[in-house]
Structure 1
């Protein structure tokens, strides 16, 4: 059956009722990437003449040019062009998970109109690039994917609000508040773990690393601006662990109180020139053309009730993530690797591996 996908759209309107053409953003993105109006127009699917007219029209709209044309040197965005492009990127990055969750809810409503067509798998999970691939490959079952913090996902599983919970934990750390919190919510007798992926987290840096950031110790320098993840996120918890290990106080980090809600939103914030460094996954850094300094690896795991392993929807999830198409898509994500993907193990077994690994 058909599935709904929700995407954000911008609308600028002046007092005369003129509206900003959405094609403009595709054109600005192409110019930023290639530095050539001809290539950008082709990418946007419009003629060179139309692209030129579009830029002139909206330069008049704002009263400032969006692109500078330099003879023999191609085209480059002006400060306003940059601001428009990166503002759109930030909006899409920030709202993306919420819109995906809403789309999942609407698809479930549609599914219920065709009762018995497909089994439904309710998954609450921490947002990530590999998890975001799941709806694309789900077949023969309806995936109701809701994004939330790892703690919220585990709590939802324990109260029966979902069938599978997705969370992540460092590959080496076995102590501290994060692991203690997980241990309180994981139930070895009734829960089992579905292995999923391993991913790399580290410092996402402005292109070329102009501040010369070489590690966590540089975050306390006065000339370095930081952008953080929200406090409830697993990525924030991992950063807190790393800072404690090297004895750094978060209060000394400029911008530590500023928060974004996804890896891509942090990367877009840096790409827009609003910060010099953030913490997140390598895939987000590469998506936005940032430098990346790896610091830690972590498991992303799926948790379910042992009794759910025989459910048709869970069986189809296992079949999907064990399959070649999904695994190939994961291999194409920078900083992601398959970690015995689809293998089922006990909770105690995983903690024993972490303790001795």
Structure 2
């Protein structure tokens, strides 16, 4: 195998799917391991000349049809509309007459403020809805439940590849998302539970909750979790033990949330009874709610992600990093938007953007098959 090369686009998966082959079947056809096919299709590695020729032979095409050199990325002058402080490297872009305008995706102004257009209106009987969206739109919409803010980025990457495909992201804790998947009210569940010992908690809990529903568990991101604090960390909070100081006003997450479990584990290790913490019983149900309370100076610390802390201009005290996975039942594999999502998860562009988010890492995690349930 050659090293990963982001300048080349791999079309092996498209040719394989046209044949109706699995990765294992293709691997057997060219005498390599299935992992090699996964790595080639995900763009992590380019095959050597011998394997590339074998692939071209089984598909009856040219090597150049399978591996296409990308055009170099465009670089243009950009006018930054700056708020306060240094602009984020991540920008929303738009052309205004002859100028490319960049809006930094950081700070309170970057948080979406508008209302989402409805697909339907609930009727007075509370059991039916007046449909506003075309039926074709609903057939190409999937629901993704979880609490990783980067799911919205995944949604946008899917829409760029297939404008008619829609991924509607709904915030839910890992347990709520998996319960929703088991109850057939979502297509995809995001989970970032913390491992205990050598056990894969995401896989173990998903297997328990789905009770026999055949599913794939795919890696999405590695995200940094900890305590969001006021800018500059004026109270000098360094560990969860510092939350027990009387002057610290703390905001907790709801029972069962992955971050709440993480906090309780660390408090137990430190020999601290959580009930002595000022605000331990004050709960919010999202990272953003906690960050907002700190920004409004009604709290000094809350559980959350580095990315959310930076978006609100807050300080951050890291505790750990957790892997966020996507759980997708195999019977959804024929859904047109699930197909696009699966391809996008192998995209070098998605991994590049995930890597650019503060406190995030995509690298060899995004799109990796973690387990089959």
Per the TM superposition, whether the score is higher than 0.5 is yes
Partners of 1:106 and 1:135 lie apart in 2 by 21
Deviations 1:206-265 (A, max 9, x none): 122221212111111111111222334332232223222333211011011222232122
Matches within 5 A, 1:179-218: 182=206, 184-187=208-211, 190-218=214-242
Partners of 1:226 and 1:177 lie apart in 2 by 27
- Residue of structure 2 equivalent to 1:129: 149
Matches within 5 A, 1:206-245: 206-245=230-269
Partners of 2:199 and 2:138 lie apart in 1 by 45
**Residues 173, 228 of structure 1: alpha-carbon distance in 2 compared, 3 angstrom cutoff:** farther
**Residues 115, 182 of structure 1: alpha-carbon distance in 2 compared, 3 angstrom cutoff:** closer
- Residue of structure 2 equivalent to 1:303: 327
Unaligned runs of 5+ in 1: 1-28, 35-88, 349-357
Partners of 2:202 and 2:275 lie apart in 1 by 20
**Residues 299, 213 of structure 1: alpha-carbon distance in 2 compared, 3 angstrom cutoff:** same
Partners of 2:347 and 2:182 lie apart in 1 by 28
- Residue of structure 1 equivalent to 2:141: 120
Partners of 1:116 and 1:264 lie apart in 2 by 30
Deviations 1:16-73 (A, max 9, x none): xxxxxxxxxxxxx95xx36xxxxxxxxxxxxxxxxxxxxxxxxxxxxxxxxxxxxxxx
Quote how far apart the aligned CAs of 1:202 are. 0.9
- Residue of structure 2 equivalent to 1:344: 369
Quote how far apart the aligned CAs of 1:176 are. 12
Ranges of 4+ aligned residues in structure 1 off by more than 6 Å? 107-111, 175-180
- Residue of structure 2 equivalent to 1:312: 336
Deviations 1:140-199 (A, max 9, x none): 222233322222211221122222111111255567999975552144671220111110
Query: Is the 1:197–1:337 Cα contact (8 Å) retained in structure 2?
Result: yes
Quote how far apart the aligned CAs of 1:122 are. 2.6
Matched, 1:294 2:315: no
Partners of 2:142 and 2:344 lie apart in 1 by 13
Partners of 2:117 and 2:198 lie apart in 1 by 36
Quote how far apart the aligned CAs of 1:301 are. 0.8
Query: Is the 1:105–1:144 Cα contact (8 Å) retained in structure 2?
Result: no
Quote how far apart the aligned CAs of 1:273 are. 1.9
**Residues 116, 255 of structure 1: alpha-carbon distance in 2 compared, 3 angstrom cutoff:** closer
Higher mean alpha-carbon deviation, 149-158 vs 214-223, is at 149-158
**3-state secondary structure, aligned to 1:138:** helix
Unaligned runs of 5+ in 2: 1-81, 86-107, 122-128
**3-state secondary structure, aligned to 2:290:** helix
RMSD over equivalenced CA pairs, Å:
3.6
Normalised to the residue count of structure 2, the TM-score between the two structures is: 0.60
Matched, 1:279 2:303: yes
Quote how far apart the aligned CAs of 1:327 are. 2.2
Matched, 1:149 2:173: yes
Partners of 1:188 and 1:284 lie apart in 2 by 35
**Residues 117, 127 of structure 1: alpha-carbon distance in 2 compared, 3 angstrom cutoff:** closer
Matched, 1:166 2:190: yes
Matches within 5 A, 1:51-66: none
Matched, 1:322 2:342: no
Normalised to the residue count of structure 1, the TM-score between the two structures is: 0.62
- Residue of structure 2 equivalent to 1:352: none
* Residue-pair matches, total: 259
Query: Is the 1:229–1:279 Cα contact (8 Å) retained in structure 2?
Result: yes
Matches within 5 A, 1:80-95: none
